[in-house]
Amino acid sequence: MSPSSTGLIVGPLPAQHPAELLVHTMPRTNAHPVLHTGEHINKIMGYLHNDRRTLSVAVAVCKQWTWAGRHLLWDDVKPREVAGTVASHTRQQYYATFVRILDFDWSEVVFGSLNVSHLEFSNLQTLSLHEEHLEPRGPNVMLALITPALKSLTIIADHGFIQRAPEADAQWLKKLQHVAIKLSKLTMTFNICVTTEQLNAFFKSMPPLTHLALNDDVSETLSDEGVASIFANPHLEDLTLIRSITPSTMSRIQVACTKPLDKMRTLNLRFDDGAGRAASALFRLMPNVQNVYICLENKLGYWRHTTDSIVFATLGSLKNITTLQIDIEPNIVLRETDLIALSPLKQLQVLSLCLTDDAHFPNQINILARGQVLLKMLLEMASLKERQIMLPGVVWAKPEEVEKYEALCREKGWNTEDGTQVVAHPNA
């Protein structure tokens, strides 16, 4: 193997070269001149974007093909691929500039020979890693990977609680706040080590996020003021916040939101301590929401049907809803009028009504007062594609209604054994 006139390495391809990342370059071929035109080469390489093995061979054809294909080959990599393919730190830095998507596999707790903290990923746009990667060199790694180009950050935990130093995440969170000016998607489902004041400050001056997902560990660190700061962002389209929204939280949100959240499309929230009133007030700020996943809690027994059931009427007025999942605590009684209030949702495609956990309330029974109303709603929602009704009790219906319902279940492919039972009764 010898250097070519271009200064790149020339030689035959190894018999079993790594399919992921091949950086050898062969001499220019005598192919038709059109194949050396940048526009055509880029088009050819574009077809190989999802075929890494073929792409790794294509970049070895000639210098022009190398230049056209290398950004696709290095666009989405894992750290071990970089370390295993290029040993020299100088060459690692060269190829790091092409990386736009960096995904740390959960097993890569040790970064190996790739010293990420000494590399510049200047074009990195999407970063995904696990909480395990924040130890022991995590803070330095995070500081190196947060750049002005970053658009999406995901940090997840899937191996239980990890004990870390207090405020261990404060430094990189502050850099994320001030440097990642293009950040639009943020997912943090791990035990973040910052104070409530630090996390509140981040969301108060955060970039214009469009997608935000926080698990209970992160969400519970926020105060009501921090939650209100999140809802003050008019760019939000998708929000998951595993933290109970109460009327007191809602009062702060209403002050912070100076205009309706017209861009909100997907919402996943919990409500408690007057859950129906809080949820109703919030949904009135989101006229265009399409996917709603809510949990109505009643841990302190503050649910009052006369005032809290308004949430069902508010949801029924949001005509764009296509997915509706409502998890209800067993000590909240779902009434006939609540089901009637949901009937106007003519575009609804997915409906789920379930109890959260009846084991914790053995003496409380969620009585479905008028099962016929539920049955009528299911039969009349022509757009409904999926349904999951997990409420206690049996719906007694006329034999012809049961026959019609069973025919609908067969047509839609619904399982009639895993939900509220519809049973024929001659006197129904």
Please, which residues bridge with residue 101 across strands?
A: 76, 126
Tens digit of each residue's pLDDT (9 = 90 or more) over 168-220:
788 889 999 999 999 999 999 888 889 999 999 999 988 789 999 998 889 98
Give me the pLDDT at residue 339, please: 87
Task: Kindly tell me if the per-residue pLDDT of 20 is higher than 60.
Answer: no
DSSP string covering 98-146, please? T--EEE--TT--S-TT--GGGS--TT--EEEEEGGGGSSSHHHHHHHH-
Nearest to 419 by CA among 369, 364, 373, 351: 351
Tens digit of each residue's pLDDT (9 = 90 or more) over 292-326:
999 999 888 888 888 999 999 999 999 999 999 99
Nearest to 330 by CA among 368, 365, 294, 370: 365
Give the residue-averaged pLDDT of 66-90: 68
More confident residue, 399 or 22: 399
Give me the pLDDT at residue 99, please: 83
C-alpha 234/C-alpha 403 separation (Å) is: 48
Q: Which of 19-28, 56-65, 237-246, 275-284 has the lowest mean pLDDT?
A: 19-28
Amino acid letter at 67? W
Task: Kindly tell me if the per-residue pLDDT of 50 is higher than 80.
Answer: no
DSSP string covering 337-360, please? HHHHHHTT-TT--EEEEEES-GGG
Domain over 76-221 is classified CATH 3.30.70: no
Give me the chain's average pLDDT, please: 79
Give the residue-averaged pLDDT of 118-142: 76
Would you say 238 and 245 are in contact if contact means Cβ atoms under 8 Å apart?
no
Tens digit of each residue's pLDDT (9 = 90 or more) over 94-124:
778 888 888 876 555 444 445 666 778 888 9
Amino acid letter at 360? H
DSSP string covering 175-241, please? HHHHH-TT--EEEEES-----HHHHHHHHHT----SEEEE-HHHHTTS-HHHHHHHHT-TT--EEEE
Nearest to 42 by CA among 78, 80, 68: 68
Query: What is the reported pTM?
Result: 0.80
More confident residue, 164 or 123: 123
Provide the residue ranges of all domains of the chain, joining segments of one domain with +: 1-73, 76-221
Nearest to 79 by CA among 147, 127, 131: 127
Give me the pLDDT at residue 162, please: 65
* Percentage of the chain exceeding pLDDT 90: 33
